[in-house]
Structure 1
Amino acid sequence: MNTTFVKALSLEKSPSNVDLDINDFVKSASKVIMPVGPITKFAAHNPWADMEQQSFEEVARRLKIISDIDIYPSHSVLESAFKRGEINQEFIEIRLQQWLDMKSLDLPGGAAIQYCRAALFQDKQTFEYSPKTELRRIAKELLRLKYEIPKKHTVQTYSKRIDKESSDKITQILNGQMIKWCKLFLDESQAAWSMPNREKGFYSSWRSLVHYDPAVSSSIRKRLNDLPREADQALMEALLGLEISFLEIQDYLEAHLLALPGWAGMMLWRSQQYDKDMNLLTEYLAVRICMEYALVKPYLPLPQKKTEDNIELLESLIVSWANWGNLPIKTWLQLSQKEIKARLTLAYDFDQIVRNRILLEAWEHTYEAQLMNIISSKSRNAEENVKPTLAQFAFCIDVRSEPFRRKLEEAGPFETFGTAGFFGLPIETCQLGSRHSHPSLPILFKPQFRVNEFSSEPNFKSYQQRQQTVSLLSNTFKKMKYNMSSSLILPEITGAWLSLQTIARSFFPRGTGILFRKTKEAWLRKPSTQLSLNRIQTSETELPIGFTEEEKVHYTRQALNMMGLIEDFAPLVVICGHGSHSTNNLYASALDCGACGGASSGFNARVLATLCNLPEVRKALNEDGICIPKETVFAAAEHITTMDELQWIYVPELSNKAKEAFDCIQAVLPEVSNQATTERIVKLPSSIISSKNPKAEAQRLGEDWSEVRPEWGLARNAAFIIGNRELTRNYNLDGRTFLHSYNWHKDEDGTILGNIISGPTTVAQWINLQYYASTVVPHYYGSGNKTTQTATAGIGVMQGNASDLLSGLPWQSVMQSDQEGYHDPLRLLVVIEAPKEHVERLFDQNQTFLQKVRNGWIRLASIDPEGNWKSWH
């Protein structure tokens, strides 16, 4: 490291004589972005997770300054919601009055509230037009009266500053270079030739190759000669060359990270996954800012930053009062200085961010009031089902489970529970015949055990050979496809078969998909399997296989406690995982579990059901007070969300009563599935519906490889309800709520509630804010139109061949059409059924959750034992 440089920068630029570690600045700056994993492991993420120590509005203002993006819904979206009746005028007035009370402006005759009401909906008044010269004269006169314009902090990279003053498009060139080098470095064997020297790191590899890049002019390549060998040293020297002061370093790094948050996020993700890449984000910034320095060096020194044009700002404030305050321009000089200051201050402070914040909060308040009217009702409690419960179902809290649970409960004497879809099992799974395992739990956690699927049947080896044949054909095709020479002859080899498949899948997608799948299953003939639940010793570097006897009991007890099923067991208990099915869909994993990186949770359901059936586990649970009757049998199934089907994956030998329950379930499932599909399918845009048969149409959407919207996923999610099923049973929540079972009577110390808040609620908030961000800033936090996306480097998608790596949801996941939205961008409302004291205890135990509530990242309400609703935000 260049110690002379460090000392110089410390002495000349920093407020105190401290050593500068550029990696510390990079780490702090990285909080403005989020790690972006490969799309094959798509997991919901909150784009602003590391900024929640600031309020939502503060982050909105900061991102507006740095990247010119608005993270509040646009005025058109809010206005449309108001016209649909989704924003109550009363709640707008309440929020507006609260804001005005904080300002204490001294204006006559209700002028402030009249101005704000008009500005909220941009209800412009007609005013007599004044010549530009007259408007300028009045603005100058107001400046002479010494009205001080607040100064806004601005953060701009040198490349952006030059773009504003010239037509050279430095930022576009810089971004293009970074996209190209990031694709090459991060490529997962899609490129015909791999980037040389990748093993040495991003900066070293780029440094050795950039001198040969024909896309870079010789003069720029010359400026990149003699770069330091170490990335951190190169980054510091580039910052020094750009004359970035000590106090501006973090802001400057943040601005560069937010220029391409997708590619920067992938670098951050890699740095967290692999020890050898721990400084990869520093290398990324070193490449970017060294390249920027080479591009902008001819323009240096840049002229001093211009201060905000006070006269133009005053003109806009004066015009806003003419538009929304019915104050003619020529009357300003007749006002007292006190009133002038009050009016200008109001117009300045009541900007678009404040207006959109008020409307969004009123929208959220309106939804909360509607939900309160549903679940605060006491009348339904008298409608208890007097028939004994035949079967109980534990579903994932996923919002898509709510309609299916409702239809299932209507169909018979069934009871449903909601819990996290991985069922509290910190496992890595390996299916039969596979050489690869994958984590099957939320990305919040790391797997602690591995569970293998195996078979002891004689025909297992032949099944394994057939499966290896399928894998070999698939892998060979991919290798030939991505190899430069073999890709030229691949069409000649596979042309006839692929042409036939193209025709079949294009004109008969449903029948072709079903035929191919059944043919493959019939040929593979998978034998019956078992799970490696008993502990097997492994090496210290590998996860242990299976569980000890104590661990079996612990995780079973924990799962039953979390779902609230510790007594009154039905003869049959079904643990329901969930997954989806779609064809040719880059976002297929986004339709599986939103928390678990695209893993479906059927395997976890089978593991838990098997553990619950073990005699030794039941004996230990009985000693703990959880008495499972001998006649009760646990089974496992998977809820396929694209087709609203419940598919059995584990049905052991049943007792007589369990067999009766199973037969009853089998009898009603087709109708339950049909009703759930009918309710769901009408919400899809009518333009994509081609059949009047809901079931057949759902199957087609899942099999059609041209379909951009096989299902809505978790769109329109808005609330997370933690409480007994009686709160919501028999009420249509429109597939907008995460439902987690909880009984505060059985949680004396608040441990269960704390676990729900720190785990499932956090994941639900990530899902909620990912849908929110992809709706309000689709060009930045979303991923654009599916039909124009390009799969790149085997890790993600771009728009075209040179865009940021797109980390969010596609347009089709949140919009009905180009003009009409589907997802309502509301921040998650958490509703807890518990006494006030329990919520206050939760705040004491979980300061992070309290911070989220106070800073507006999540909204909270509670229902006490008397049914009283309390809002905590």
Structure 2
Amino acid sequence: MGVTSALMERSIRNKDINIDFQESDINVLIESASRVIAPLGPISTFAARSPWMGLEKQSFDQVAGWLKNTRDVDIYPSASMILSAKSKGEIDEAYVEMGLQRWLDSHSFNIPRDVAEQFCRAALKLDPLPSTLLSSPKLEKLADEFNGLNMDSLENSSMQPISSQLENQDGERLGDILDQHVIKWCKLFLDDSQAGWAMPNREEGFYRAWKRLIQYDPALSKKQREILKGWPQEAHLALQEALFALEIPESEIQAYLEGHLLSLPGWAGMMLWRSQQSSHEHALLTDYLAVRISMEWALIKPCLTLNNYRSKKKVSIASLLASWLYWGGLTIDEWSQMSAAEQKEYLSFAYRFDEKLRRKLWLEAWEQTYTDQLSQKIASKQYESDNKKSVLAQLAFCIDVRSEPFRRQLEKEGPFETIGIAGFFGLPIETSELGSDHSHSSLPVILKPQHKIKEAADENELKSYQQRKQAINSLSSTFKMMKQNVLSNLLLPELSGPWLSLQTVARSFMPRGADRFIHNLHKTWLRKPNTTLSLNHAHNREAEIPVGFSEEEKVTYARQALKMMGLTKDFAPLVVICGHGSKSTNNPYAAALDCGACGGAAGGFNARVLAALCNLPEVREELSFEGIKIPEDTVFAAAEHKTTVDELHWIYVPELSEAAQEAFDCIEAIMPKVSHNANAERLAQLPNFQSKFKNPKAEAHRFAEDWSEIRPEWGLARNAAFIIGQRKLTQDCDLEGRVFLHNYDWNQDEHGDILANIIAGPGTVAQWINLQYYASTVAPHYYGSGNKATQTVTAGLGVMQGNASDLLAGLPWQSVMQSDHEAYHSPLRLLIVIQAPNEYVKRLLNNNSAFRGKVQNGWVRLASIDSKGRWENW
């Protein structure tokens, strides 16, 4: 509605509204409201998160309906995505028909069944209603005549921020103006890396810092500043005052807070994440809501009479009637001859069989088609010859879907066994690399590090290395300081221009040559010495977490990793622990390509730590007492799989036994072919790859080194399933790089503890990754981050589109889309397949209520393969 001078200001006091909460009451409401957003960490440590992680106690369909009603966000695939998948043979229409019949059987309606089926089948073609029909005068007249009937049951209402429903005298939505103010203040407060001048009084918290400055904000009118001048000093009191002034009923407060959190879920998510990181900022989300809703009142009060605005979403009678005329084959004459009761029944039926439901049926058919295709692919392989071959080497890879094609190509070339395990290898560590004053967590973000592992080197070599590194860091920090200083940045273009111009030209026209030059210069100058790891526990009372492991912990982590891999016997001469990382240039989402679960921490360091632990004589001796006997000539090494170029880089190769050396030489000999084949398979999927190039390796490196390349790899796009079972179940199956693979042998898991840990850890991570890609595909405008080429890296935190957008939480368009009009990622909810007897799966569901809820509510799908190879959908 427009705001005009004719609207009279009214008193903010109203006897019918009574809000008298304690701070604890407000905190409970905010914590409950925060379930609608997901915590958002900095993009430099990007970790995939399900945007609906707090809503899983509701069904997927319920959340879909709620989001459509409150934010007009669709989370079922669009009609164009569905029709594209259908044309590619990814959807068996028989499953659409089966879903339709189940829905009809479960609903009662007073319409002939054949008429209902005809209507539904026509509607399921997903053709839009013709605009000429919707604008027909006859149709509008019939709809108007029907308006006298009671259609209350067909209305949806929701409590939305009042500002989102109003406009000022210039026709601007007050909600948009409020968002711009809030974005400005969030950027000022959260920026601790790019701004030359920090926001004053940040140490006092967001609300208090804002409160001190808001009275000087020129973007507000004098009257608006006056309103906030006497505002409470404490955030929870300010929030209470604002809610009281806006006359939000007590029963609606949580929904009102949710509406404000969903208005800018990115910035709100960053505030939520920060509040979880330290006790000092635990009230940051309260501060955020206090600032936002206080500003809402300041924007509204000078010009508006409030009346508890509640948005009402009226059902369009015209569109429901048009659907019967277009899909149901009714004529206007036939409609006019119906009784009012019959007309209401028909309209009610059309309302229930709405677009959301139609797309839900198509999604379920799409998912079931993929499930069938996967089960057939596995069934065709699992009973092939299972002759026990002598294995020369065993290589453990991360479960990441990008490992699957590489593993498959590796197994084709020799007597090698590959193993899948979560790529941090069960080591809850924080790593401190040589010469660094800082450390970083090297494990999934859902866990906290328990140990710090440092790199060490010879004292003389270390001193020289630190001097060289300090010179580089000093140059970098001086450049940054000059950029941010008011006077020195005037001289910076003249000083840095020639070098940066040369670098720009080289990187633009000779990306590979420039990258090699910079890499070689960096390598030659730094010359990192050989290092050792601080595996032994070092007592330090000042350290937050202990450095190294105790003797018992060394054995525990080695045993745990070997059991999770199912590698407790039949060891090969060489066991390679393979972490994974990525390589790309000028890419804000580099961390997402390194590891979507571990905040961008590549897995090589963890691989080296585990390999070193498994080589320790004292660890092997203790393991042998427990029945895990590692042969003397078996050696553990560590490597890193570079997913962008599909290469294996060795990072730890100790002295090898004769048999291990033979295995190592064999791997080295076949690696060029493995890399060539894996690159050829992967690059062919990229939309801008030219098949005329005959050297996949060179092309892969070009994609990684070209700073203008917006799609260096697909990442985890098209992920669809998580298989927990023995490798022989899927060996030789082309899973198209769509499946997370975790080794599991139920015969070695009598009590189901290993399976429970896989579901709780890697299973949760895989689900988050799956739903992050899903959300960024189906609702890119709300859950994605737009075109990577137009993104602005903001405050060292994340990306925006322009300088006044939400902080974008999801994946860029290039990570999920083949072109402007066609998706590459298939938005399917994760299928978890467990190779184990049914009683194992039943026990898992009975013991893990959270996982059971995810399955029952449609957040993941579950299937199992029993000991006889029989597939069952749960």
Shorter-chain TM range is over 0.9
By how many angstroms is 1:139 displaced?
Answer: 3.8
In 2, Cα distance between the equivalents of 1:145 and 1:789? 50
Q: Secondary structure at the match of 1:642?
A: coil
Give the letter aligned to residue 847 of structure 1.
Answer: S
Distance, in Å, in 2 between the alignment partners of 1:814 and 1:268 is 26
Coordinate RMSD, CA, aligned: 2.3
Residue 12 to residue 355, structure 1, CA distance change in 2 (3 Å): same
Alignment partner, residue 591 of structure 2: 589
- Equivalent residue runs for 1:9-24 within 5 Å: 13=17, 21-24=25-28
Equivalent position of 1:698 in the other structure: 700
Q: Secondary structure at the match of 1:528?
A: coil
TM-superposed CA distance for 1:85, in Å, is 1.6
1:486 corresponds to which of 476, 485, 488: 488
SS at match of 1:253: helix
Cα deviation for residue 380 of structure 1 reads 4.8
1:503 aligns with 2:483: no
Q: Is the 8 A contact 2:864 2:872 kept in 1?
A: yes
What is the rounded CA distance, in whole Å, between the counterparts of 2:400 and 2:169 in structure 1? 50
Tell me what 1:768 maps to.
770
* Structure 1 position 124, deviation (Å): 6.8
Write the letter of the residue equivalent to 1:323.
Answer: Y
- Is this contact kept in 2: 1:689–1:697, CA < 8 A? no
Aligned to 1:444: 446
Distance (whole Å) between structure 2 residues aligned to residue 734 and residue 313 of structure 1: 44
Residue of 72, 77, 82 corresponding to 1:78? 82
1:382 partner SS: coil
SS at match of 1:182: helix
Question: Which residue of 621, 629, 632 corresponds with 2:631?
Answer: 629
2:347 aligned to which of 317, 337, 344? 344
Q: Provide the residue aligned with 2:456 in structure 1.
A: 454
Counterpart position of 1:264: 268
Q: What corresponds to 1:231 in structure 2?
A: 235
**Aligned counterparts of 1:307 and 1:509: Cα–Cα separation in 2:** 54
Corresponding position of 2:177:
173
Return 5+ residue gaps in structure 1 as ranges.
1-7
Distance 1:687 1:666, change over 3 A: closer
Q: In 1, are the aligned partners of 2:704 and 2:712 still within 8 Å (CA)?
A: yes
Comparing 357-366 with 515-524, greater Cα deviation is found at 515-524
The equivalent of 2:316 in structure 1 is: 313
Q: Deviations over 1:722-752 (max 9, x none)?
A: 0011111011100000000001111000000
CA shift for structure 1 position 155: 2.6
Match of 1:102 in 2: 106
Report the Cα distance in structure 1 between the residues aligned to 2:487 and 2:648, rounded to whole angstroms: 46
Q: Is the 8 A contact 2:581 2:604 kept in 1?
A: yes
2:737 to 735, 738, 743: 735
**Residues 821-854 of structure 1 deviation map (CA, whole Å, 9 limit, x = unaligned):** 1111111000000111110000011110000000
Match in the other structure for 2:335: 332
| In structure 2, C-alpha distance between the alignment counterparts of 1:476 and 1:752, rounded to whole Å | 51
TM-aligned CA distance change 1:10 to 1:51, over 3 Å = farther
CA–CA distance in structure 2, aligned partners of residues 225 and 761 of structure 1:
51
Structure 1 residue 642 corresponds to structure 2 residue 644: yes
Q: How far apart, CA to CA, are the structure 2 residues paired with 1:164 and 1:215?
A: 15
| CA distance in 2 between partners of 1:275 and 1:782 (Å) | 30
Identity %: 59
CA–CA distance in 1 between the matches of 2:327 and 2:98? 20
Contact 2:641 2:648 (C-alpha < 8 Å) held by counterparts: yes
Report if the CA contact (8 A) 1:10-1:17 is conserved: no
Q: Distance in 1 between matches of 2:73 and 2:664?
A: 54
> Which whole-Å CA distance do the structure 1 matches of 2:563 and 2:105 have between them?
46
Whether the aligned pair in 1 keeps the contact of 2:679 and 2:696 (CA below 8 Å) is yes
SS of the equivalent of 1:779 reads helix
Kindly indicate whether residue 219 of structure 2 is the aligned counterpart of residue 211 of structure 1: no
- 1:64-85 Cα offsets, whole Å, 9 max, x none, are 2221111111122112211222
Q: 1:530 aligned to 498, 514, 532, which one?
A: 532
Whether 1:365 aligns to 2:368 is: yes
**Distance (Å, rounded) in 2 between the aligned partners of 1:300 and 1:436:** 53
From the superposition, tell whether residues 505 and 127 of structure 1 become closer, same or farther in structure 2 (CA, over 3 Å). Answer: closer
**Between 245-254 and 482-491, the greater mean CA deviation after superposition:** 482-491
Q: What code does the residue aligned with 1:547 have?
A: F
The DSSP-based 3-state class of the residue aligned with 1:21 is helix
Q: Secondary structure at the match of 1:103?
A: coil
Counterpart for residue 556 of structure 2: 554
Residues 827 and 858 of structure 1 are in contact (CA less than 8 Å); yes or no, is this contact kept in structure 2? yes
1:297 Cα deviation after fit: 1.1
Partner in structure 1 of residue 67 of structure 2: 63
* Separation (CA, whole Å) in 2 of partners of 1:10 and 1:300: 15
- Which deviates the most, 687-696 or 672-681? 687-696
CA distance 1:679–1:539, shift in 2 (3 Å): same
State the match for 1:744 in structure 2.
746
Residues 542 and 612 of structure 1, relative CA distance in 2, 3 Å threshold: same
- In structure 2, what is the equivalent of residue 564 of structure 1? 566
Per the alignment, residue 799 of structure 2 pairs with: 797
Shifted more, 18-27 versus 732-741: the winner is 18-27
Alignment of 1:781-860 (within 5 A): 781-860=783-862
Structure 2 CA distance, aligned partners of 1:122 and 1:433? 60
Cα-to-partner distance string for 1:768-810 (whole Å, 9 max, x where unaligned): 0001111111111111111111111111111011110011111
Q: For structure 2, list consecutive stretches of 5 or more residues without a partner in the other structure.
A: 1-11
Match of 2:45 in 1: 41
| Amino acid across the alignment from 2:678 | A
| Distance in structure 1 (CA, Å) of the matches to 2:713 and 2:783 | 21
Distance 2:864 2:310 in 1: 51
Instruction: Say whether the 8 Å CA contact 1:11–1:17 is kept in structure 2.
Output: no
Cα distance in 2 for residues equivalent to 1:813 and 1:628 = 43
Using a 3 Å threshold, how does the CA distance of structure 1 residues 858 and 241 change in structure 2: closer, same or farther? same
Partners of 2:129 and 2:40 lie apart in 1 by 47
Residue deviations 1:57-114 (CA, integer Å, cap 9, x gap): 1111111222111111112211221122211110101111111111122322511111
Deviation at 1:387, TM superposition (A): 3.8
Q: Give yes or no for contact 1:775–1:814 (8 Å, CA) kept in 2.
A: yes
User: Structure 1: how far apart are the matches of 2:460 and 2:242?
Assistant: 66
Q: Which residue of 2 aligns with 1:160?
A: 164
The residue type paired with residue 95 of structure 1 is: G
Per-residue deviation at 1:10? Answer: 13
Give the 3 Å change call, closer, same or farther, for CA 316–655 of structure 1 in structure 2.
same
Q: Could you state the TM-score of these two structures normalised by the residue count of structure 2?
A: 0.95
The Cα offsets for residues 531-579 of structure 1, whole Å up to 9 and x where unpaired, read as: 0000100115521011111100000000000011111000000000000
Equivalents in 2 of 1:586, 1:460: separation in Å? 32
Pick from 427, 430, 433: which aligns with 1:428? 430
Alpha-carbon contact 2:832-2:861 (below 8 Å) kept:
yes
Q: Deviations over 1:191-225 (max 9, x none)?
A: 23211111111111111111111122222112222
Aligned residue for 2:157, secondary structure, equals coil
Secondary structure of the residue aligned to 1:825 is coil
Q: What residue number does 2:3 align with?
A: none
CA distance in 1, matches of 2:783, 2:133: 41
Partner Cα distance (2:617, 2:452) in 1: 22
- SS in structure 2 opposite 1:573? strand
| Deviations, residues 283-302 of structure 1 (Å, cap 9, x unaligned) | 11111111111111134324
Aligned residues of 1:39 and 1:587 also touching (Cα < 8 A)? yes
**Counterpart code for 1:157:** P
Shift of 1:498: 1.3
Give deviations 1:676-715, integer Å, cap 9, x for gaps. 0111111111367884321111111111111111111111
Shift of 1:128: 11
Cα 1:32–1:647 change in 2 (3 A) is same
Q: 1:318 to 1:769 in 2, by over 3 A?
A: same
Distance 1:9 1:282, change over 3 A: farther
Q: 1:686 aligns to what SS in structure 2?
A: coil
CA contact (8 A) 1:71 1:773 kept: yes
Query: SS of 2:345's equivalent?
Result: helix
Aligned residue pair count: 863
SS at match of 2:607: helix
Q: For the Cα contact (< 8 Å) 1:118–1:124, is it kept in 2?
A: no
Q: Would the aligned equivalents of 1:183 and 1:793 in 2 still touch at CA under 8 Å?
A: yes
